[in-house]
Structure 1
Amino acid sequence: MRTSIYKFIENPLQFKEQLVVWGQQFREVTFLDSNSFSDEFSSFDCVLAVDAFTSIKTDYHNAFEDLKQYQQTTKDWLFGYLSYDLKNDVEQLQSNNSDGLNFPDLFFFQPKKIMLLKGSQLEIQYLNLCDDEVEGDFEEVNNWVLYKDVEPSAVEVQQRVAKQNYLDKVSKVLEHIHQGDIYEANFCMEFYAENVIINPLEKFWKLNAISQAPFTVFFKNNKQFLLSASPERYLKKEGENLISQPIKGTAKRFFDPVEDLKSKTNLAQDPKERAENIMITDLVRNDLSRTAQKATVVVKELCGIYSFLQVHQMISTITSKIDPKYSAVDALKTTFPMGSMTGAPKLSAMKIIEALEESKRGLYSGAVGYFTPNGDFDFNVVIRSILYNQENQYVSFSVGSAITSLSIPEKEYEECLLKAKAMLEVLQ
């Protein structure tokens, strides 16, 4: 059983930083931070969940059914991730590309300790609540001294797909589009470094400082780390309501306000970027309809422009009301992987990109998030993220772009480098 204790926090921004540092002592850590971004679908400013009471770790075989049983049995808070390769559980697909990270396909844990911050109010939820333990931990967090001036360590990052090879592969995607096999495909490439030792928390600080994204994550499962500055929500369930907010369309930010406004306006009016977004919005509408009550799938916003520190993004919002006969995990399974990271039609796109990409995506373009005790959930899209396996000293991040009939390979390559900028800056 969980009961709640509430505390007033005088300096929420400092407290958030102390929380994530304090959490490093535990084997399992999920820290979610909105970076003060708030919209009508926001629930918390930040959440820290640590120390597994129970957990589930599995490959893709029967993964969603195993997760459903785990979620319905615990009926508690669960934090974890769905890797992109769970596509193989949803469809008759395979993942045969190289994998330097070796993360499980699915991992969730039931935390002993949760702290949820909204404004200046902290809610503390512990399993088998002990007042002395709560007060002791709260005092520890408040007294934690932050050390951020860590000597930077440069990482020599390599590009898995050389530029000319990338251009050739995009041309092959375009051939599939012109032949009518697909309308759009999200083609990705990996940047990586081998035999390196990094301080994950230091890199997380840096990534968050230059990105300040609304779906930021620090995730730790023993020696496996995700440092994510994701701007994208995959799917949220709130009661009977499902909300998906795919991103398609990216433009550079500029220091000059005039140039920045021009970039933003050009993105809003760009026919190629709008086509990308509208095709994926239609795909998401179709995915949500599989579990929706009749006539409840609605596009609340189409091709809205939102600005983040690094880039402008085009975001659409699609909602539905889930039919009571479907479970929370059913809603995830019938929409996974998210359309913004696959293409349309989804199955054909996944087959083509699997054949052309050279790295297994793993957790990249999967989702991280949580279930609540009543079966609600919220998951991001794992993009703009660094992955690190401390055990085999392998660091990786991937970037991609949506290829449509209007795509110019050189411009798609430039978009990938723009998206890679923050991660390269953090590592190098």
Structure 2
Amino acid sequence: MKSYPHFYPIPKSRLLPTLLHWGAKKFPYMAYFEGNSHAYPQGPFDNLFFAGKTRLTEQELFEKNYPKEKVGVLSYDFKNKIENLSSTNTEFFHLPELCFFEPEISIQLTENGVFSKYQLSDQWLEELEAFAPPQGGNLTCDVAPQVPKDVYLEKIKIIQNEIREGNTYEANFCQAYSGEFESWDPVAAYFRLNELSKMPFSGLFKAENLWLVSASPERYLKKCGNQLIAQPIKGTTKRGQNEAQDTLNQKLLLESEKERAENLMITDLTRNDLARVSKTGTVQVKELFGIYPLPRVFQMISTVRSELRPESTFRQIIDATFPMGSMTGAPKISTMKIIEREETFRRGWFSGAFGWMDEEGDFDFSVVIRSIIADLDAKKLYFGVGSAITIDASAAQEYEECALKAEAILELLSGKHT
């Protein structure tokens, strides 16, 4: 993150609760990114707050000479503009394929104080000081899985038949939970989810009536100067209840032939994607099969880095790498057709990307997983969970992996306290 010139000695812990509620009330578009101080390879999200009133068009988003910050969400369904594909499954509510805004407030939050891109007026600070965040917002919502367990298990068999036929090697098959509510407080839900599951790519996004509440563990793509960094996750196991169990689970994940095969296939796909916009010979796997602890799980993370060709544009980078292979499978196009046929919902923002870009074209985007997507006008929300299906996958174990990934969100929506 570029350094912001204006400093105000207000610690993050004091400012943040008021700031997010105030931003949600005052602005049609708002975003907050939180790294939770994770020791993540290549760093987690910076702690950044953005708010604005101007939504960007597709042309403005991808315009090479549009020298302004851009913040927002790229829907999974944007794949249809990259490849000859379609999304015909039922959507829970309408979500734009691209939803980016130009911020007029840009703040980096630290415990020593906040750094602002623009000078903040005394009136702004006084207004924020006087603002009383609402209390007691509803966080709960009854949700149900869209696919019964027996149907899920049958679909895994269908996908494994596709693998036998040579139409895919690995498919990231997802299911959704959905529900309706009378009222729901996404800002309070963000704070609660971040208590339950502090992730390196947590975030909150508002686009008028649409909200994203995210506790993502995964980076899609980061650009820093001429360096591109992709970090696919494939391989998940639960945390132990003590240090000995943790050590054993970590060892079992690292030594699992199945998990390593899943990760290797997607890492290879990621290498090929980056090569399409990078200088010849610069694509390198900086770490393969890294095992990293997160609040409830261990994840197997690989890091791929390359040197971008100078003429490569943001649109060309997206066209080459999106959707991320960890959420599709391999080979990408034929596998996306299979999962579109077998899944029962339109993914929308789920398994898309959420992030920001600065004026010089540097950016950082997460993968939208472990995330709730809500429409406050329609009074509906949903979230998705998935796992990689390979020929030797156990359908029952994949179902349990999905349940593990859904755990924190289900605790939030049920009001359960652990």
TM-based fold match above 0.5:
yes
CA distance in 2, matches of 1:398, 1:151: 24
1:335 is aligned to 321
CA distance 1:261–1:141, change in 2 (3 Å): farther
Aligned to 1:155: 141
Task: State the distance in 2 between where 1:32 and 1:369 align.
Answer: 8
Report which stretch shifted further, 257-266 or 243-252: 257-266
Shift of 1:399: 0.2
2:393 matched residue in structure 1: 407
**Deviation readout 1:405-428 (Å, 9 max, x if unpaired):** 120100000000110111111111
The residue matched to 1:396 in structure 2 has which SS? strand
Shift of 1:8: 4.6
1:34 matched residue in structure 2: 35
The 1:40–1:176 alpha-carbon spacing in structure 2 relative to 1, beyond 3 Å, is: closer
Secondary structure of the residue aligned to 1:19 is helix
- 1:156 Cα deviation after fit: 1.5
What is the SS of the residue equivalent to 2:341? helix
Gaps of 5+ in 2: none
Contact 1:44/1:118 (8 A) holds in 2? no
- Aligned counterparts of 2:371 and 2:45: Cα–Cα separation in 1: 21
Give the aligned residue type for 2:33: L
Output aligned runs, 1:41-60, within 5 Å: 41-42=42-43, 45-52=46-53, 54-56=54-56
Uncovered stretches (5+) of structure 1, i.e. residues with no partner: 58-62
Find the counterpart in structure 2 of residue 60 from structure 1.
none
**Residues 216-365 of structure 1 mapped to structure 2, 5 A cutoff:** 216-365=202-351
**Shift of residue 4, structure 1, vs aligned partner:** 5.0
Q: What is the alpha-carbon distance in structure 2 between the residues aligned to residue 121 and residue 295 of structure 1?
A: 42
Give the deviation of 1:152 after TM superposition.
5.1
Q: Is the 8 A contact 1:237 1:377 kept in 2?
A: yes
Matched, 1:423 2:417: no
Q: Identity over the aligned pairs, expressed in percent?
A: 40
Question: In structure 2, the residue corresponding to 1:334 is in which secondary structure?
Answer: helix
State the shift of 1:13 in Å. Answer: 3.0
Aligned equivalents of 1:200, 1:120: Cα separation in 2 = 27
Cα deviation for residue 12 of structure 1 reads 2.8
Structure 1 412/287 Cα, relative in aligned 2: closer, same or farther at 3 Å?
same
1:79 to 71, 96, 103: 71
User: What amino acid is the match of 2:31?
Assistant: T
- Residue equivalent to 2:11: 11
State whether residues 16 and 46 of structure 1, in contact with CA within 8 Å, keep that contact through their aligned partners in structure 2: no
CA contact (8 A) 1:45 1:119 kept: no
Paired position in structure 2 for 1:67: 61
Query: 3-state SS of the aligned residue for 1:189?
Result: strand
Distance 1:4 1:415, change over 3 A: closer
Deviation at residue 35 of structure 1 after TM alignment:
1.0
**Which residue pairs with 2:367 in the alignment?**
381
Distance in 1, Cα, partners of 2:99 & 2:112: 31
Number of residues of Structure 1 aligned to a counterpart in Structure 2: 412
Q: Alpha-carbon deviations, 1:316-349, whole Å to 9, x = none? A: 0000011011112311221000000000000011
CA distance in 2, matches of 1:15, 1:313: 32
Question: Is residue 203–residue 426 contact of structure 1 (8 Å, CA) maintained in 2?
Answer: yes
Query: Per-residue CA shift, 1:272-293, capped at 9, x if unaligned?
Result: 1111111000000000000010
